[in-house]
Every structure is written in C-alpha cells, then in structure tokens.
Amino acid sequence: MREDGAVEDVSSQALSEARTLLAQSLRVTVFTGAGISTDSGIPDYRGPNGLWTRNPKAEKMSSLSHYLEDPEVRQLAWQNRVRSPAWDAQPNDGHRALVKLEERGVLVALVTQNIDELHQQAGHQPNNVVEVHGTMRYSRCWSCADRRPMQETLQRVRDGEIDPACLLCSGILKSDTISFGQSLVPEVIERAMWASENCDVLLAVGSSLSVFPAANVVPRAKAAGARVIIINGEPTKMDQYADVLLVGKIGDVLPAVIG
C-alpha cells in the first residue's frame, strides 16, 4: 500500500466501489481460500508458488482413494503433516482485517476452505467460522471416526510410527479434513450455502474458486441478489459474477477495502 492509502496496481475506482459496498452492507458473508494464508507462510495449491504448481505429484496426497489404498502416500502425508509450516503460522493483516466485520456486527458467517484455523486465531468467534473442508488440527479414524488432537497423533509419528493406526480399532487415520473424492459434511456445506443466500455482499478472498461444491457460494449469492466482490492475485473461475473485481495482493487490498 502507498502512503496515501492507495494500493499498487488496483484501480482506485474499483477500490472505492468495494469500500462503499462494504460500508453500506449490514449482512456480509466472507468466503476465503488458501491465498489469504500465504502471507502467513502457508503455501496454496494453485497459485504461482503453489504446492501443486511446483510438484504435480503432491496432488495425489489430497486424493482420498490414493490415501486409503497406498501406504506410501500415507507415510508421505504424515511426514508432511509433521513438517507443515502451519503449526508455527500466525494470522496476518488480511485475517485481522476480516475480524473488523465481525466487530461491526455485520458478518453473517466467514466460510473458509482453509484448514489452518488462522481465522479463529485472528479473533473470530469459532461459531462464526464455517470450515467447509475441515481442520488439520484434529486427526480422525476413517473406520470408527475417533477424533483427537492432531498433535497427539503427530507425536506418535515423531516417536517412530510411520503410518499410525487408530488406537481404538486399528483403522486408517487421516487429518480431519475433506480430501478430494470425499463428501463434505452436509450440515456444514448447507450452512455455507445459507450464508451465501442470506447476505447483501459476498466477499471472496484468496481462492481460485475452482473447488466444488464450495465455490458455488459465489453463483448462489449472486442469484439471491447479493453484490459480489472478488479479491485475488490472479483471475478466478468466477470472475464473471463479480460486481467488483480486485486483482492484487490480499495483504494490501483487504485492509484497504475494510478500513
């Protein structure tokens, strides 16, 4: 951001339109993706430095069938979980800017595809955050659904178990997140869709808007009469629905539009 409050590369007209829409709205639903957490040191999947952009094979680890069928995929996944930069990550200016919407009393819900819990750490009430893809902070048994803090399970990996099994039923453990090929939790995605259909502004931040059904929040909001603001560093699959499109760095643009 420049000293005069303008943001490099983003049209000042688009910025002021977004500011006005947000300032006038009494019901804002926010939808976030991995791009809001890259400034906290957690890579996204499809951005220029994304995990899949740099290593297309990494996509396999996010596929449910590969994970359940291939012990080597699971072993690699456990090593990645132990080493994840998310454990030391702190919320950034983008996360903090969104908390202001909650403080003003205009936030319907913060729907996130992220699994890192940085929105809650930034100060959101946990029950305002709808985690459509789950959380990496718990592990869950694929067979009996036993759920416990991920750090307990990661300690077993650090102690030498390469593919820790469920302590209750010996089933396969994974993180309590939604893998590709896995169904979403019906009540959670229904709440996300309800929030998108009951807002007057839908603000989508840091997502390629290409993962479904989550990305449907955008056309749903539009069809229900909401104005749509999209903030992302590159084009998204939903740009045609945007009333205001802000292509730029989230850490600059988001604090500038929320104020």
166 binds, among Zn ion, ligand NAD, none (CB under 5 to 8 A by kind): Zn ion
Per the annotation, the verdict on 119 as an active-site residue is no
Binder among 29, 113, 139, 175 for ligand NAD (CB under 6 A): 113
Q: Is 227 helix (H, G, I), strand (E, B) or coil?
A: strand
Does residue 211 belong to the site contacting ligand NAD (CB under 6 A)?
A: yes
- φ/ψ of 241, rounded to 5, equals -90, -10
* Separation between Cα atoms, residue 86 and residue 37, nearest integer Å: 9
Residue 146 vs 163, nearer CB to Zn ion: 146
* Separation between Cα atoms, residue 223 and residue 201, nearest integer Å: 12
Structure tokens at 259: 């104020």
33 binds, among Zn ion, ligand NAD, none (CB under 5 to 8 A by kind): ligand NAD
Residue 119 vs 227, nearer CB to ligand NAD: 119
CB 111 within 8 A of CB 31: yes
Residue 120 vs 166, nearer CB to ligand NAD: 120
47 binds, among ligand NAD, Zn ion, none (CB under 5 to 8 A by kind): ligand NAD
Which of the stretches 42-50, 70-78, 168-176, 188-196 binds ligand NAD when contact is defined by CB under 6 A? Answer: 42-50
115 binds, among ligand NAD, Zn ion, none (CB under 5 to 8 A by kind): ligand NAD
**Strands 147-149 and 134-141, sheet pairing:** antiparallel
Rule CB under 5 A: which residues touch Zn ion? 141, 143-144, 146, 166, 168-169, 171
* Separation between Cα atoms, residue 206 and residue 87, nearest integer Å: 20
* Separation between Cα atoms, residue 97 and residue 114, nearest integer Å: 17
91 binds, among Zn ion, ligand NAD, none (CB under 5 to 8 A by kind): none
Does residue 37 belong to the site contacting ligand NAD (CB under 6 A)?
A: yes
* Separation between Cα atoms, residue 232 and residue 23, nearest integer Å: 20
Which of the stretches 20-28, 108-116, 145-153, 187-195 binds ligand NAD when contact is defined by CB under 6 A? Answer: 108-116
CB 244 within 8 A of CB 229: yes
User: CA angle, 213 as apex, 208 and 219 as ends, to 5°?
Assistant: 70
CB 35 within 8 A of CB 246: no
Q: How far is the CB of 168 from ligand NAD (least distance, A)?
A: 27
Strand partners, 130: 111
Catalytic residues: 133
Q: Which residues bind ligand NAD (CB under 6 A)?
A: 33-35, 37-39, 42, 44-47, 50, 113-116, 133, 206-208, 210-211, 232-234, 249-251
